[in-house]
Structures are given as C-alpha cells and as structure tokens.
Amino acid sequence: MPLSNNTIPVFQVDESCVILDCNSKACEFSGLKYEDMKGRHLYDFLQSNCKLSDILTGERDYAISRFYRSSGIISEVVVMVDNVVRQEKRIYYMSIFDVSANGFPEDDIRRENIKLLVGHVAHAFNNILTGILGSLSVLREEVDTREQFNLMLDNAESGAIRARHLTGRMLTFSRGEIIPVSRRAESQSSRQKRLFPGNELNNGRLLFLDDNPFVADTAIGMLCTLGYCVDVVSEGKAALNKYGTAMRNGNPYGAVILNLATPEGMGGTEVIKFLLEMDPDAVVILSSGFAGSDIMRNYSSFGFKAVLPKPYTVRELFESLNTALGQ
C-alpha cells in the first residue's frame, strides 16, 4: 500500500512499530501534524491488546482495534498490513480502515471504508483463486515431470487452505479473529515444452511482475508448462533493471506481464511508461484482480497489448500472450 494513497490512513513502521512515515490521510485521521507523528509508536494510538506484534512477525495480517485520536474520538478500526524488504530490512505498511458506527454523518465515511476493506479482501481472494485455478488448469494438461505435477498440486492445495482462511476472515473479522499469512522471495524458472501452438515469444523469455508470492509461484509453473523461461520480480524497479540488463546483454525479454498494483513502488501503469521509453516495441500485458476497472477496460491507451484478469487458467494465460504477440 503506497504512502501516496490518499484514500485511507497509511503508516510506514519498522519492526518495533515506530512510525517512519505516514500519508496526509493518516495525519488527518490522527489529528496530529506530520512532524508530531514521525518517531512515535503506532501502539500510542491503538489499544494495548490489538496484537500488532503478531502482525509484525508475520503470524497475522490484520487486527481489530480501537484508534485513539487526538480530538478524543475513539474509532473502531481494522488494521491491514503489507510489508516489503528494503536493504535487508523489513518495512511494514499499516492501513487503517475506520468501521465505526456512531449514527452520525460520519457513517458515510464508515460505509466507504467498509467498501475499501471489502475490495482489499476481494483482491486478496482473486490472487488466491489465480493460484488455484492456474494450478488446476496446468494439471489438466500434460506435465513433463512428477516434480512439476506435485508443485502444481501443492499450489492448489495451499490456495484452498488460504481461501478457507480468507472466508473465515470475511465472516468473523468483526469479532477480531486473526489469520496467519506467509511470504516468499523472488524466483526464476527453467524451461519446459510448449503446450499450445501460437505466436513465438522472442528467445522464449518472459518477465513477470507480481508482489504476491503464491501468484508468482503458480505463474512460474503455468509459463514453464507453456514452454517459456520466466524471471519473476516483486516490484517495479527490479522489473525495469532486469529488462534493461537483458536488452544490454543482447538477450531481451519477448514479453512482460505486469500486475496493476504493488504494495511498494511502481505498479503496472507506472512501469510501462519507463519500459516503452526504454523499448518502444516492448510487448506488455496488464494483469489485475480488478477486472472491471477503467484501466483494465482501456488498457491499450496506456500502451498495453493485452490484459490478463485474475483468476486465469493456463489456456487463458496463453491466449493473452498470443493476443499480445499477434499485434
């Protein structure tokens, strides 16, 4: 969740929950100036039993709490977390959703925050479905090795477990129950045979940007099954660096798949601007769980050759690539 988000309060904290930065909405919500926020503990504003420590250790990814504002107002909030590694240190982004019900005009704000929270959860659910559906679609096709078969089976099973946890969260978050999550690092694939005939990808090499490790792991299996070599990165700058290096080394990527939004740094619509400056002929596909968004509907005006709505099957992934490469 980038700090530039001005829709909801977002705090950037370190492993001790000390506030490193925050957006203007966080200052407005707290009722304090930016200089008065920086350096304080987020615990100063939340009730003591909200278990932020479990969020920081990765055992949980959200908490229910009360937020004590400088005006004396006490708001019921849901705290959601995203995290990134920067210079070998993990940085956390705490997003605050005010779900108070006070019977005042502020209820309009409450309804809007609940809509944002539901959208956040729905987007996470679409990422899970992408992993499950993608893995199962690969298993429907012929796979080369038992190892590949087991990987896709494990991904589908893992996704089903995550989906069960997520539905539990949606049903019971108002009672304060917490759901554990885990994250993994970037990875790189090896090449297998091509399943479907179609437009050839230059050098068989593809760059894939998605900050969700479950989606990334599944995409690796799907793209390997389609016969491509794929490099996976979790943020925009890494994608640009890899693309530029590949061009300079004379071994460019034939296509790039960019997720619409990432918690840290540039999302797909920002990355493509720099990619097209670097390589006007770049073949870039936009992927997102927000299939009905204006950007997904008008993707070509941003320079994308095709879109890939989440969740998707291996055949839909192939068709999206084929569309992009055929232009």
Question: Higher confidence at residue 323 or residue 47?
Answer: 323
The CA distance from 287 to 321, in Å, is 11
Q: Is the pLDDT of residue 190 over 50?
A: no
Residue 293: give its domain's CATH number: 3.40.50.2300
The structure's pTM equals 0.52
Domain range for 27: 10-100
193-206 mean pLDDT: 61
Residue 90: give its domain's CATH number: 3.30.450.20
Confidence band for 168, pLDDT divided at 50, 70 and 90: low
% residues pLDDT > 70 (the chain): 63
How many domains is the chain partitioned into structurally?
A: 2
Is residue 2 situated within a structural domain? no
Asked whether residue 203 falls in the same domain as residue 235, the answer is yes
**CA 182, 80, 207 angle in degrees (round to 5)?**
55
Backbone angles phi, psi at 196, to 5 degrees: -115, 140
**pLDDT at residue 172, as a whole number:** 47
Question: Higher confidence at residue 99 or residue 251?
Answer: 251
